[in-house]
Amino acid sequence: MSADRNPRLQGKVALVTGCGSAGPGWGNGKAIAALFAREGAKVMGCDIRLEAAEETRDIIRGEGGTCEVMAVDVSLASEVEAFVEQAVSSFGGVDILVNNVGTVAVGGPVEYPEEKWRRDLDVNVTSMFLTAKYALPHMEKAGGGAVVNIGSIAGIRYTGVPYISYYTTKAAVIGFSRGLALEYAGRNIRSNVIMPGLMNTPMIVEPLKGVYGDGDIDKMIEKRNAQCPTGAMGDAWDVAEAALYLASDAAKYVTATELVVDGGITAKFA
């Protein structure tokens, strides 16, 4: 961190859902939580796997940052409410909400199990409704805030992989975020979506390894890299930097929009 500037989130309280990582390395939520803490935010993080959240917490504290975590199923109202209230109790309020939790699995409408479809809707969309329900009143009380929703380019185009619930839920994230943004624009609360493209994060390994290279992870990565105009996928830090911008005062006049972070792939196949 440069000594000649102030941290961009100094004094802010940031909620980050899905702050753990799905496997070894840096997932989006883990990178977002760490970067926000480096920029002065007090981070309240959650993950359905407590040990994953605690790993992120320990990294942040090891760097001198402030972070508390909880195990939370973000599809359950009671657990989300407790998560938000813990942030208020520990840190005094809520300034930033990052909705990062998401799930993806391969399958089209005929073969995809109905129970999995409903679970995907709850995890990918209902979770955002619930965090907003409980966090927005605290933001309004504080005089404003920023909501950053993690979507995907899958919300606006077919990516070549048959995951019908992912396309559906990521499209819904856009509508949810825009509606929230316009309703709260006059109350100094902004809401935006980050739309990552093909990213190299731990989340892609299990759901997609059978789609690319017959289960060979190295072949999967090679094929996904080749699809990108830049010749390589992005990573969690690309998403984290975008989230930092949207959460910070640098984006004070940016709301109801989608920030595409995809190395140009949507333009290539437009």
In a domain, 108, yes or no: yes
Average pLDDT over all residues of the chain: 94
In a domain, 147, yes or no: yes
Which DSSP string do the residues of the chain spell out, in sequence order? --TTS--TTTT-EEEEES-S-SSSS--HHHHHHHHHHHTTPEEEEEESSHHHHHHHHHHHHHTT-EEEEEE--TT-HHHHHHHHHHHHHHHS---EEEE-------B-TTTS-HHHHHHHHIIIIIHHHHHHHHHHHHHHHHT-EEEEEE--GGGTS--SS-BHHHHHHHHHHHHHHHHHHHHHGGGTEEEEEEEE-SB-SGGGHHHHTTTSGGG-HHHHHHHHHHHSTTSS-B-HHHHHHHHHHHHSGGGTT--S-EEEESTTHHHHT-
Residues 168-188, mean pLDDT to the nearest whole number? 98
Domain that holds residue 211: 13-268
Is the pLDDT confidence value at 99 over 70? Answer: yes
In a domain, 177, yes or no: yes
pLDDT attached to residue 231 = 95
Which CATH number fits the domain that encloses residue 144?
3.40.50.720
Q: Is 166 among the residues known to form the active site?
A: yes
In a domain, 8, yes or no: no
Candidate list 166, 167, 184, 212, residue with the active-site label: 166
Closest CA to 247 of 92, 38, 101, 27: 38
Over residues 46-58, the pLDDT tens digits come to 999 999 999 999 9
pLDDT attached to residue 270 = 60
| pTM of this structure | 0.94
pLDDT above 90 as % of the chain: 85
In a domain, 2, yes or no: no
Over residues 239-249, the pLDDT tens digits come to 999 999 999 99
User: Which residues have CB under 8 Å from 111's CB, separation 6+?
Assistant: none
Backbone angles phi, psi at 155, to 5 degrees: -75, -10
Which DSSP string do the residues of 91-105 spell out, in sequence order? HS---EEEE------
In a domain, 17, yes or no: yes
pLDDT attached to residue 269 = 67
**How many domains does the chain divide into?**
1
Using alpha carbons, list the distances in angstroms from residue 205 to 27, 103, 155.
12, 12, 20
Is the pLDDT confidence value at 115 over 50? Answer: yes
Is the pLDDT confidence value at 157 over 70? Answer: yes
In a domain, 29, yes or no: yes
In a domain, 55, yes or no: yes
pLDDT above 70 as % of the chain: 94
Contact 47, 69 (CB under 8 A): yes
Is the pLDDT confidence value at 236 over 80? Answer: yes
